[in-house]
Structure 1
Amino acid sequence: MTVLHLADEGEAADLAAFLSRLLHYDRSAAVRLQAAGTALAVFGRPPSFEVLAIRAVRLAKPYENGLDVTLDVTVSAGELLETVDEAAVTAAVPASVTGPPWAGLLPPRGGWRAEPGLPAPDALRALVAAAVGEFRSRTQELPPEGRTRAELDRIGREIWSRTVGEARLPVRAVHAAQSLGFLRPGEREIGLFSSGAWLRLRTPYGSVAVRQGGVGALGLSVR
């Protein structure tokens, strides 16, 4: 089994936290791992948000496995989490799995340019809190016979598909970033970037990418 040597205990803890959050939304979650040099990218897709989440992890030394100098594999998030050893600062790569459709389709690596119109981090967190409050209020006002899954989904789509400020970013992307631990209190270094049909909300702790028109369509760049 290939062992990844992480840069420090903080990287190991953050990786474990990210995997735990993905598993909270999907107990059978898979993640795609791509490593080259001292950088590891972990891709996941929490189904509740319809976004791609990317966690960058620093490695202590360049990845190397025999003659292979890069790693690109889809694995079980749960099995990967079980191998994360914060004391040893390592993680072992489990056996590959047949990944879900999104795992074979990722945003482009390059061509990202900064986009204007993103509100300040405090405003983003307030926006998410207001959206959550509106969803709860509107669903609680429904009569019992009207509180169907279809109606709840309709209200959710209406709220979370709204765009943020003057940016084209849907509110659900900000909600995902906060729920996955990417948008933390006091954090100021965030940015919005675009590449082709993709938008990417980036913070020091991870990124959330959405394809304009919907990730669900899976009209992504094959990688």
Structure 2
Amino acid sequence: MTVLAPLHFADPREAAALAAFLTRLVHYDRAAAVRLQAGAGALAVFGRPPSFEVLAIRTARLADPVDLDATVSAGELLDGVEEDAGKAAVPAAVTGPPWAGVLPPRGGWTPVPGLPGAPALRGAVAAAVAEFRRRDGDLPEERRTRAERDRLGREIWSRLLGTTGLPLRAVHAAQSLGFLPPGEVPVALLAAGPWLRLRTPYGSVALRTAPTGLSVAPAR
């Protein structure tokens, strides 16, 4: 078995941020896998929380140049993060899930106008959560099934934000993963081919606007 050299981050805070991101991914899926791509002094970590139908991306600056492209267990990578030392051990590669072979492009992104600011985005998520709870509570007992709740969630979280083409579930994912914390946070919406990417200083979520063959699960 090939033993990969540990990743050394340019700042120990990068290790802590990566650990927080991995903790959230594992919260949604204990068997989560992440794809790692490193080059030119930077690391990109891709994950797919199952409830949101998006790819989550966290980047970090590396102290040393590393050439790496591997899919690994998110839990094992989390176990290998040493926040005080600012480094992370890279676990053995695993067989990647289908999404790991369909990643957004590295370049060619252009701005998409019309995205509200961070407070409005968080407000839209809060309103959607409140609507789901209210409508779920109004369901008669005979209709309070998983299928009906999935249908309701799909209806609410698939709504688009204005003219941007970005579904609300992407904003919900960004907030749930810690990419849209309270306060004034710079946000941008970018497009490249069939991909949309919601980017903040804390991470990004990306999704394809064309069919990919990936399974669909509504976020709640």
Q: TM-score, normalised by structure 2?
A: 0.93
Contact 2:99 2:214 in 1 (8 A): no
- The answer to whether structure 1 residue 50 and structure 2 residue 53 are counterparts is yes
Match of 1:5 among 8, 11, 23: 8
The aligned counterpart of 1:221 is none
- The answer to whether structure 1 residue 108 and structure 2 residue 111 are counterparts is no
The CA RMSD over aligned residues, in Å, is: 1.3
The aligned counterpart of 2:44 is 41
Whole-angstrom CA distance in 1 between matches of 2:211 and 2:133: 24
- The answer to whether structure 1 residue 14 and structure 2 residue 11 are counterparts is no
- Secondary structure of 1:118's counterpart equals coil
- Secondary structure of 2:82's counterpart equals coil
Whole-angstrom CA distance in 2 between matches of 1:129 and 1:112: 29
Question: What is the CA deviation profile of residues 123-147 of structure 1, one whole-angstrom value per residue up to 9, with x for unaligned ones?
Answer: 0000000001111111111122211
Contact 2:43 2:61 in 1 (8 A): yes
Contact 1:201 1:209 in 2 (8 A): yes
- The answer to whether structure 1 residue 163 and structure 2 residue 166 are counterparts is no
Question: What is the CA deviation profile of residues 155-194 of structure 1, one whole-angstrom value per residue up to 9, with x for unaligned ones?
Answer: 0000000011221100000000000000111233210000
The aligned counterpart of 2:174 is 177
Whole-angstrom CA distance in 2 between matches of 1:158 and 1:211: 18
Contact 2:98 2:214 in 1 (8 A): no
Between stretches 123-132 and 161-170, larger displacement belongs to 161-170
Whole-angstrom CA distance in 2 between matches of 1:86 and 1:27: 21
Contact 1:121 1:187 in 2 (8 A): yes
Q: 1:71 to 1:7 in 2, by over 3 A?
A: same
Whole-angstrom CA distance in 2 between matches of 1:132 and 1:138: 10
Q: Which amino acid aligns with 2:116?
A: P
Between stretches 205-214 and 166-175, larger displacement belongs to 205-214
Q: Measure how far apart 1:11 and its partner are.
A: 0.6
Q: What are the within-5 Å matches in structure 2 for residues 11-160 of structure 1?
A: 11-63=14-66, 70-160=67-157
Q: Which amino acid aligns with 1:199?
A: L
Q: Measure how far apart 1:108 and its partner are.
A: 1.2
Q: Specify every segment of 5 or more residues in structure 1 that has no aligned partner in the other structure, as ranges.
A: 64-69, 219-223
- The answer to whether structure 1 residue 206 and structure 2 residue 209 are counterparts is no
Q: TM-score, normalised by structure 1?
A: 0.92
Question: What is the CA deviation profile of residues 51-79 of structure 1, one whole-angstrom value per residue up to 9, with x for unaligned ones?
Answer: 0000001112212xxxxxx1000000000
